[in-house]
Structure 1
Amino acid sequence: MGLFDFFKKKSSGEEKPIEDGDKTVVQSDNTDDSAPGWEAIDAEFDRLYPDQPNPRHYGTLIKYMFGGPDPLDGISVYDAGEFWHFVGYGLSELYTKESSDPEYSGYGIELTFKLKKSDNDEEEIKNGCGLLQYVARYIFKTGKVVLPEEYIYTKQTVGIDAHQKSKLTGFLTARDNLAKPLDTPHGKVEFVTLIGATDAELRSVYESETSKLEVRKLLQELGNQITDYDRQSLV
């Protein structure tokens, strides 16, 4: 049984279908040492950042399938001017088609994160990679996929920044508004971005009878998908 075989993709009536014109189609001649899923992600971020052929990259020493602690095989970080744009590699099928679902590649998503630059970039970039690995680990262990317009609320009160001082304690999620969905040789992949949210914002969603509408409202009020550890709560 492959890594993704236990997972059954769930559909939501509220999810907007991806139109053909809004996705990047990637074709590849698969060989034993090829990674068409990885190459598809690279191609999309090369489109976004053509002047950065060699972005910062943080790879894992021991792959998750071989007992390593980190489910993402790697995370690339691009300089987007005002912010750092992270993208993970590992929630889709990077190397070979393992699952029996022909429509989606792996879980059908990869995580992204847009972190506002600061005076503590080096430490916060490493911390940001840890956050992506944390969410990916949750997905791998539970089989529950993080989709757009959802929230991640652990009820923790410390910040998600490196020094745990920020008012942002969890995440809202959205479709990445920069990276287009992919149609890879292994199936569809959508980029889901994590957006830092305060405890008060997350509680307002958690306690709402219409949580999805509350998430949409907060995303609209935020006005962008950048995580700013210094921002104040909207609630």
Structure 2
Amino acid sequence: MSLFDKWKKKDTSSKMTEGWDAIVEVCEKVYPNQKEPLHYGTLVSWKLGGNDPLDGISIYDGGDYWHFVTFGLSELYEKESSDPKISGYGMEFTLKLKKGYGDDDAQIRGICGILQTLARITFQNGEVFREYEYIYTGQKEGMDIQQTSLLTGFITALDSDIQTIVTPFGKVDFIELIGATNQELQALQNHQCTVKELYQKIGDITDYQRQSVI
């Protein structure tokens, strides 16, 4: 596991955190009673040579699921990219993980690790994820801690709850990752269905216990 740990979210009272503040603000519109969500922050930042590109991941309690929101794919503290209309890579990741599959704390840490891995792809290769795409590596093991789930990859959609925002540094879309089975991902690869069609069948909750719909 890479170097991140659980702590309270950053103090966002400074003008130097305008991008961070904007993400918190839109999340609090969805979860107005959760001012201090569970938060995993990076111990050694990417800029200082750390392995984790995301500065933090907040996890909100959605009732039946945990709602993950990343901080770091957009510009959090200052404008550095050349496009004034887009903040950083123009996105942050979200994910809704259904509760009740073994050790919640371990599964939450597992998802945080996956989000950092995907963010690393963006930071290293410049790959930007948009809605209705799929992420398929060909792996057969489940993405859960026990590696027994049928879910092995993801499809993407715009988060149905957290709306696109425009921060002082530009636009940010919230790209939701939704777990998909190997069979579903192969169907997408073989053009047997579209990502949008699959999304309409499985919804936006990542459920480690669900069966394939294809």
Q: Encode CA deviations 1:46-67: one digit per residue, 9 max, x unaligned.
A: 1111111000000000101111
Q: Is the aligned partner of 1:193 residue 2:180?
A: no
Residue 225 of structure 1: aligned partner: 204
Residue 3 of structure 1: aligned partner: none
Task: Please point out which of 121, 126, 129 is paired with 1:138.
Answer: 121
Alignment of 1:32-51 (within 5 A): 34-51=16-33
SS in 2 for 1:125: helix
Residue 151 of structure 2: aligned partner: 168
Residue 151 of structure 1: aligned partner: 134
Q: Give the letter for the 2:158 counterpart.
A: R
Give me the whole-angstrom Cα distance separating, in 1, the residues matched to 2:152 and 2:43.
29
Q: Give the letter for the 2:149 counterpart.
A: S
Q: Is the aligned partner of 1:105 residue 2:87?
A: yes
**How many Å apart are 1:148 and its aligned residue?**
0.6
Give me the whole-angstrom Cα distance separating, in 2, the residues matched to 1:47 and 1:226.
20
Residue 87 of structure 1: aligned partner: 69
**How many Å apart are 1:144 and its aligned residue?**
1.1
Q: Give the letter for the 1:122 counterpart.
A: D
Q: Encode CA deviations 1:34-53: one digit per residue, 9 max, x unaligned.
A: 21010000001111111110
Give me the whole-angstrom Cα distance separating, in 2, the residues matched to 1:231 and 1:71.
31
SS in 2 for 1:39: helix
Residue 22 of structure 1: aligned partner: none
Q: Encode CA deviations 1:131-170: one digit per residue, 9 max, x unaligned.
A: 1111111111110101110000000000001111100000
**How many Å apart are 1:30 and its aligned residue?**
7.6
Q: TM-score, normalised by structure 1?
A: 0.83
Q: Encode CA deviations 1:49-88: one digit per residue, 9 max, x unaligned.
A: 1111000000000101111000000000000001000000
Give me the whole-angstrom Cα distance separating, in 2, the residues matched to 1:64 and 1:70.
6
Q: Encode CA deviations 1:152-207: one digit per residue, 9 max, x unaligned.
A: 00000000011111000000000000001011000000000000000010011112
SS in 2 for 1:106: strand
Percent identical pairs in the alignment equals 51
> Any gaps of 5 or more consecutive residues in structure 1?
1-28
User: Where in structure 1 do 4 or more consecutive aligned residues deviate above 2 Å?
Assistant: none
Change (3 A) 1:54 1:155: same
Q: Give the letter for the 1:172 counterpart.
A: I
Task: Please point out which of 172, 187, 199 is paired with 1:204.
Answer: 187
- Cα RMSD, aligned residues only: 1.5
> Any gaps of 5 or more consecutive residues in structure 2?
1-12
Q: TM-score, normalised by structure 2?
A: 0.91
SS in 1 for 2:194: helix
Give me the whole-angstrom Cα distance separating, in 1, the residues matched to 2:19 and 2:189.
35
